């Protein structure tokens, strides 16, 4: 077993050490199901790569947290929803917004601080929000959005509108008071919310074993008599199926579920993080399980012709190139002046 060092005997988070299931049996699927999921994951990856490039060129300000490596989680989970359902996410939320239906144009323009962004260029990377698709943010305070998701679910219960709320957060958020409060109320009031912990093994540079006495985040559900689930997040169809069970429970019985999805981010915490707390070998080992490569291979297995996959990939390239051009050509947000507190 690989460990960080002699003085730090805990195993480093390689796939072998932290994955939930040993067997890798592919989940039954069809090209009709997997094709659109692969397309969404690829579009998110290309959008994230385009934003990283723009950030390096100084065209995007503030912070930028990318989801590269984790795409199967937001895409698979959101695919289990109905159109009117709600999604609440963290600052690592560009992919979640895209999966919920916000366009790459509106997301990239927002990151660029342009008037045409989904928050008119005033929110930026950490505060994507879009009422039209019921994407309810984008929050920078770790764990602070869990009670907000519980609130959205409470509204659904009160109105009896049968909507379900998905709330995404990292394992670091499970140490925060807001998480405990949101979890407690969701269980007590039986709110139709699915709480999804994207356990990407690090909270900034801190590995799980340094922040959690009990590393299985899903076990927090037990204290509240809440349903729970825990599985690997590199097979997008598996994510869709397992989250669908929790969504069904929320919609039909009003009961919440805490789900932990084991995943990994390929890049640093944010653009300013060189990731010196982990080795290149560790990252490479996870990249061998890249959810996009896995889905592409599976598409071939289930009979999608290579030419169709290439056409889909060309289509994604065109979509993201168009979105980058749209963001670059759009006018800068100037409304912010209305909100600036008088200096002096
Ligand atoms: C309340 C609070 N404390 C600290 C921070 C600084 N911070 C930003 S991201 C982060 C790590 C969170 O890790 P995790 O919840 O695992 O999510 P990930 O970034 O891995 O997706 C921290 C500590 C913050 N934004 N909010």
Residue 80 placed within a domain: yes
Give the ligand 1 atom nearest the CA of 265: 20
Task: Find out whether the beta carbon of 170 lies less than 6 Å from any atom of ligand 1.
Answer: yes
Characterize the bridge pairing of strands 165-170 and 86-88.
Answer: parallel
Would you state the pLDDT for residue 344?
44
Would you state the pLDDT for residue 17?
87
* pLDDT tens digits, one per residue of 330-344: 999 976 556 555 554
* pLDDT tens digits, one per residue of 56-87: 999 999 999 999 999 999 999 999 999 999 99
What kind and span of H or E run contains 166? strand 165-170
Would you state the pLDDT for residue 217?
98
Would you state the pLDDT for residue 336?
57
Number of structural domains found in the chain:
1
Kindly report the average pLDDT of the chain as a whole number: 94
What kind and span of H or E run contains 28? none
- Low-confidence stretches of the chain (pLDDT < 70) are 1-9, 23, 335-344
Residue 172 alpha carbon to ligand 1 centre in Å: 6
Between CA 119 and CA 130 the distance in angstroms is 7
Task: Find out whether the beta carbon of 142 lies less than 6 Å from any atom of ligand 1.
Answer: yes
Residue 15 placed within a domain: no
Residue 173 alpha carbon to ligand 1 centre in Å: 7
Characterize the bridge pairing of strands 206-207 and 3-5.
Answer: unpaired
User: Which residue has the least CA distance to atom 3 on ligand 1?
Assistant: 142
Which of 66, 125, 137, 172 to mutate to test ligand 1, by most ligand atoms within 8 A of the CB atom?
172
User: Which residue has the least CA distance to atom 5 on ligand 1?
Assistant: 142
Residue 6 placed within a domain: no
**Nearest alpha-carbon partner for 91 in 135, 126, 52, 137:** 126
Contact 62, 124 (CB under 8 A): yes
Query: Whole-model pTM?
Result: 0.95
- Collapsing DSSP to helix, strand or coil, 139 comes out as coil
Residue 241 placed within a domain: yes
* Domain limits for position 160: 68-103+122-304
Would you state the pLDDT for residue 25?
80
Assign residue 157 the CATH number of its domain. 3.40.50.970
Task: Find out whether the beta carbon of 220 lies less than 6 Å from any atom of ligand 1.
Answer: no
Would you state the pLDDT for residue 304?
98
Query: To the nearest 5 percent, what fractions of the chain are helix, strand and coil?
Result: 50, 10, 40
Residue 324 placed within a domain: no
Would you state the pLDDT for residue 133?
98
Task: Find out whether the beta carbon of 134 lies less than 6 Å from any atom of ligand 1.
Answer: no
Task: Find out whether the beta carbon of 96 lies less than 6 Å from any atom of ligand 1.
Answer: no
DSSP letter, residue 2: -
Residue 330 placed within a domain: no
Residue 54 placed within a domain: no
Task: Find out whether the beta carbon of 51 lies less than 6 Å from any atom of ligand 1.
Answer: no
Residue 323 placed within a domain: no
CA distances from 41 to 18, 36, 38, 74 (A): 23, 9, 5, 9
């Amino acid at each position: 077993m690989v460990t960080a060092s002699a003085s730090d005997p805990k195993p480093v988070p390689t796939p072998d050490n932290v994955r939930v299931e040993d067997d890798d049996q592919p989940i039954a699927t069809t090209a009709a199901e997997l094709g659109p999921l692969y397309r969404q994951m690829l579009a998110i990856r290309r959008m994230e790569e385009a934003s990283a490039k723009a950030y390096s060129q100084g065209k995007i300000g503030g912070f930028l947290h990318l989801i590269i490596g984790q795409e199967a989680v937001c895409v698979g989970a959101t695919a289990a929803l109905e159109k009117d359902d709600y999604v609440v996410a963290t600052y690592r939320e560009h992919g979640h917004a895209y999966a919920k239906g916000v366009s790459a144009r509106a997301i990239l323009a927002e990151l660029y601080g342009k008037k045409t962004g989904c928050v008119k260029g005033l929110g930026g990377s950490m505060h994507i929000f879009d009422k039209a698709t019921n994407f309810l943010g984008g929050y920078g305070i770790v764990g602070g959005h869990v009670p907000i998701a519980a609130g959205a679910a409470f509204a659904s219960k009160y109105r009896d509108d049968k909507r379900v709320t998905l709330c995404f957060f990292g394992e670091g958020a499970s140490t925060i008071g807001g998480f405990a409060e949101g979890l407690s109320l969701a269980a007590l009031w039986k709110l139709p919310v699915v709480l999804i912990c994207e356990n990407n093994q690090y909270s900034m540079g801190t590995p799980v074993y340094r922040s959690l006495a009990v590393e299985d985040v899903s076990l927090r559900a037990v204290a509240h008599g809440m349903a729970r689930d825990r599985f690997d997040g590199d097979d997008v169809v598996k994510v869709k199926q397992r989250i669908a069970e929790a969504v069904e429970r929320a919609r039909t019985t009003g009961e919440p579920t805490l789900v932990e999805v084991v995943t990994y981010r390929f890049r640093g915490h944010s653009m300013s993080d060189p990731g010196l707390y982990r080795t290149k070998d560790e990252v490479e080992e996870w990249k061998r399980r890249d959810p996009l490569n896995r889905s592409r291979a599976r598409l071939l297995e289930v009979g999608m012709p290579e030419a169709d996959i290439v056409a889909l990939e060309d289509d994604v390239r065109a979509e993201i190139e168009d979105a980058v051009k749209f963001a670059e050509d759009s006018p800068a947000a100037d409304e912010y002046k209305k909100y600036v507190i008088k200096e002096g």
